[in-house]
């Protein structure tokens, strides 16, 4: 497994593979890997001849009161996991390598950046779009894999790739969960034991949403049912419950005859957890 810390090194590795006619898939991460990330690498392995995993805690997607300084990091552990999972290369740049000095260009997808999680975290998705564009330009992959847990992020990246005619395919991978249903996240390790126990209400509320959707419930009934389940956890601070069209993320009211996506953002202490599920009426 190649470990590349500069743009020149990863470009040279990819250039060699592509000159041999091999395809390349990239898996962007911020490190502190868990089984969810490794599932993305396995999916990438199935999609392409070569897999590049990137590890970069991107400062431009963190707000002034967010957890950049405390975001968990363990490079040695990450590299061991990726070597066993079969990543062909890992790109681990520094902030200076990625952004240099004097940079003044950003990528934005205004409509998708300004809604939902983007409204809660101004500037977040501009940072995501910018770093993902830079990684695509550096690695020049044929494919890229992202988890569906970050549903809005996945939608935004797909829109950006279409709008800018980027020559790659975006692959979404279903949310990977712990045995008790909690969506895997690098932030889970920061939950207290009490909060970790209570956090399973996110998945339980999505189960409730799925049941209600199949019964033909309205959007208001879905929201009320989800909220009732989340409120059974004393420590849960509900930041948002959004029910949107699963394809367009457009707002809905009344009944939907199409699939909808339920998007949750719930804080436990200092840790903000997100989760999602696409649910649909019974056919």
**What does the pLDDT look like over 130-188, one tens digit per residue?**
999 999 999 999 999 999 999 999 999 999 999 999 999 999 999 999 999 999 999 99
Rounded to two decimals, what is the model's pTM? 0.91
198 carries a ligand binding annotation:
no
Is 187 known to sit in a ligand binding site? yes
In terms of pLDDT, which residue wins out, 122 or 67?
122
Q: Examine the pLDDT at 120 and tell me if it is beyond 90.
A: no
Residue-wise pLDDT for 58-117, tens only, equals 999 998 878 788 889 999 999 999 999 999 999 999 999 999 988 899 999 999 999 999
Catalytic residue among 37, 124, 173, 195: 37
Q: CB neighbours of 200 closer than 8 A, spacing ≥ 6?
A: 180, 181, 182
For residue 13, pLDDT beyond 90: yes
Show me where the domains of the chain are located: 2-173, 186-278
Asked if 42 and 85 touch (Cβ cutoff 8 Å), the reply is yes
- What is the structure's pLDDT at 215? 93
Check residue 209 and give its pLDDT: 97
The verdict on whether residue 22 carries a ligand-binding annotation is no
Q: Which residues does 88 contact at the CB level (< 8 Å), separation at least 6? A: 1, 2, 13, 17, 50, 51, 52
Average pLDDT over residues 51-55: 98
Known active-site residue 255: no
149 annotated as a binding-site residue:
yes
Token duo for residue 93: 């740049």
**204: Cβ–Cβ under 8 A, 6 or more apart, which residues?**
181, 229
Fold of 2-173: Rossmann fold (3.40.50)
Could you please state the CATH topology (level 3) that the domain comprising 186-278 is classified under. Answer: 3.30.1300
pLDDT at 282 over 80: no
């Amino acid at each position: 497994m190649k470990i590349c810390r500069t743009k020149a090194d990863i470009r040279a590795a990819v250039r060699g593979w592509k000159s041999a006619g091999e395809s390349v898939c990239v898996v962007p991460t911020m490190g502190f890997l868990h089984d969810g990330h490794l599932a993305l690498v396995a999916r990438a392995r199935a999609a392409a001849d070569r897999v590049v995993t990137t590890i970069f805690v991107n400062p431009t997607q963190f707000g002034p009161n967010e957890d950049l300084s405390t975001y968990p990091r363990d490079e040695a552990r990450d590299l061991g996991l990726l070597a066993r999972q079969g990543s062909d290369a890992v790109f681990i740049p520094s902030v200076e390598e990625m952004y240099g000095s004097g940079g003044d260009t950003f990528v934005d997808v205004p409509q998708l950046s300004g809604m939902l999680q983007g409204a809660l975290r101004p500037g977040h998705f501009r940072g995501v779009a910018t770093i993902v564009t830079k990684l695509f330009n550096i690695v020049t992959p044929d494919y890229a894999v992202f988890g569906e847990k970050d549903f809005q992020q996945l939608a935004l990246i797909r829109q950006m790739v279409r709008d800018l005619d980027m020559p790659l395919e975006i692959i979404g991978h279903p949310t990977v969960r712990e045995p008790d249903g909690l969506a895997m996240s690098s932030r889970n390790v920061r939950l207290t034991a009490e909060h970790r126990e209570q956090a399973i209400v996110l998945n339980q509320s999505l189960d409730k949403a799925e049941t209600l959707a199949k019964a033909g419930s309205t959007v208001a009934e879905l929201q009320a049912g989800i909220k009732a389940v989340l409120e059974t956890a004393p420590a849960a601070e509900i930041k948002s419950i959004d029910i949107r069209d699963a394809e367009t993320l457009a707002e809905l009211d009344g009944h939907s005859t199409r699939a909808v996506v339920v998007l949750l953002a719930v804080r436990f202490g200092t840790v903000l957890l997100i989760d999602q599920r696409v649910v649909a009426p019974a056919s």
